[in-house]
Amino acid sequence: MKILLVGEYSNVHATLAEGLRALGYEVTVISNGDFWKNYPRDIDVSRRPGKLGGIALMFRLWKLLPKMRGYDVVQLINPMFFEVKAERHFFFYDYLRKHNKKVFLGAFGMDWFWVYTCSVRKPLRYSDFNFGNKLRTDPESLKEQKDWIGTTKERLNKYIAETCDGIITGLYEYWACYHPALPQKTTFIPFPIRCPEKVSISSTVPKKVRIFIGINKSRSVYKGTDIMLRTAEDVLAKYPDKMELVKAESVPFAQYRQMMNGSDAILDQLYAYTPSMNPLSAMSKGIICIGGGEPENYEIINETELRPIINVEPNYESVYKEVEQLVLHPERIPELKRQSVEYVRKHHDYLKVARQYLTYWESCGN
């Protein structure tokens, strides 16, 4: 089987490619590296700034068309899989469908189904767009609603979803948005993580709890990082002898991972039900996730025993309480670290996930 993975989101395709190659498959990743995060890829299609950058990228994509044909499977990271306007994507998508056997859509992040469902149907108790029946009004949420609802992006997303061979969702939240609309086409497969071969979990209780937080300035309010950071700084101010805080602000992936190493816990994504790629990567190293660990997260992967995630509600008080409790009761840390490693190895190992993808791809369209 020959596989083309188009686009990138938080290292999903690069890691999936590693797993597939380890199983003996031929894989090509074509992406922009997810912007400044600069994840690995085989063919780079990043865009330079300005109008000339857009023209240069279109010219490059045209030249690359012969390299985007003849695959058994093509998977798109998102309906917007290149850094060009939505109307340009119709041509590239139709080309990929015409010149390859099967095309799949990844539901891994921002798209119309996510924005519209959370803003209008509101199946989730909270999300990037709602708190219960109340819509969020922060600038980033409003921008995304305006960007997707009633636009060419909406038409593109619907067109791809209706005509592709299958849709893979990577988090419970995305499954909850896609499955009701397209139940026959939608499946859930956990995100792939390449776990360290050996992780040593010390039974020693740390004298100072080291907490890590990654900050993307442009999306800080949208993802709740602003609240998490303020909470961590307030707990640190109260217990400076019991806690350390490490902050990584908009740094490339390699530097981010290096700064994260040695931490006891990571604060990530206040409005999530489930841990995404960054906290999962941290958990694989024995770093505890303080973030999304709702019951639905465990149910969709049929996990009945392990509970490694410190779940928080989407507000300052809940985060403060959980961070403070961890700082005051560090004796919990060794067991939570052990469970974190076991959880990721059990459900997210990149080889296991790659096999799940292969099984799903092969089952579709037969």
Residue 67 lies in a domain: yes
151 & 13 share domain:
yes
Residues 92 and 230 in one domain: no
Same domain, 43 and 178: yes
Residue 309 identity (one-letter amino acid):
I
151 with 267, same domain: the answer is no
Q: Give yes or no: residues 255 and 309 share one domain.
A: yes
Same domain assignment for residues 135 and 278: no
Domain span including residue 43: 2-192+350-363
Say if residue 89 is in the same domain as residue 183: yes
Token couple for 353: 């996930």
The token pair that represents 324 in the structure block: 């403070």
Residues sharing a CB contact under 8 Å with residue 357, sequence separation 6 or more, in sequence order: 16, 20, 168, 189
- CATH code for the domain in which residue 342 is found: 3.40.50.2000
What is the pLDDT tens value at each position of the chain, 366 positions in all? 999 999 999 999 999 999 999 999 999 999 999 998 899 999 999 999 999 999 999 999 999 999 999 999 999 999 999 999 999 999 999 999 999 999 999 999 999 999 999 999 999 999 999 999 999 998 999 999 999 999 999 999 999 999 999 999 999 999 999 999 999 999 999 999 999 988 889 899 999 999 999 887 777 788 899 999 999 999 999 999 999 999 988 787 778 888 999 999 999 989 999 999 999 999 999 999 999 999 999 999 999 999 999 999 999 999 999 999 999 999 999 999 999 999 999 999 999 999 999 999 999 965
Rounded alpha-carbon distances, angstroms, from residue 309 to 27, 210, 221, 293, 357: 33, 16, 22, 5, 25
Q: Which is nearest to 81 in space by CA: 118, 45, 49, 37?
A: 45
Q: Is residue 129 part of a domain?
A: yes
pLDDT at 255: 86
Show the beta-strand stretches assigned E in the chain: 2-6, 26-31, 43-44, 73-76, 102-107, 130-131, 134-135, 166-169, 186-188, 209-215, 243-249, 265-267, 288-291, 310-311
Clarify whether residues 148 and 273 are in a common domain.
no
pLDDT of residue 174: 98
Residues 6+ apart with CB under 8 A from 345: 195, 284
Assigned domain for 92 exists:
yes
pTM of the model: 0.94
Same domain? For 116 and 231 the reply is: no
110 lies in some domain:
yes
* Length in residues, the chain: 366
Alpha carbon of 3 to those of 46, 160, 314, 325, 336: distances in Å?
21, 19, 39, 47, 37
Main-chain phi, psi angles of 71, to 5 degrees? -100, 150
CATH number of the domain where residue 60 is located: 3.40.50
DSSP 151: S
The answer on 248 and 99 residing in a single domain is no
Q: Is residue 197 part of a domain?
A: no
Domain-embedded: residue 198: no
With respect to residue 204, please indicate whether it lies within any of the assigned structural domains: no
Residue 281 lies in a domain: yes
186 shares a domain with 287? no
- Tally the domains of the chain: 2
What per-residue confidence (pLDDT) applies to 84? 96
Q: Tell me, yes or no, whether 126 and 179 share the same domain.
A: yes
pLDDT given at position 148 = 98
Which H helix or E strand runs over 347?
Answer: helix 333-347
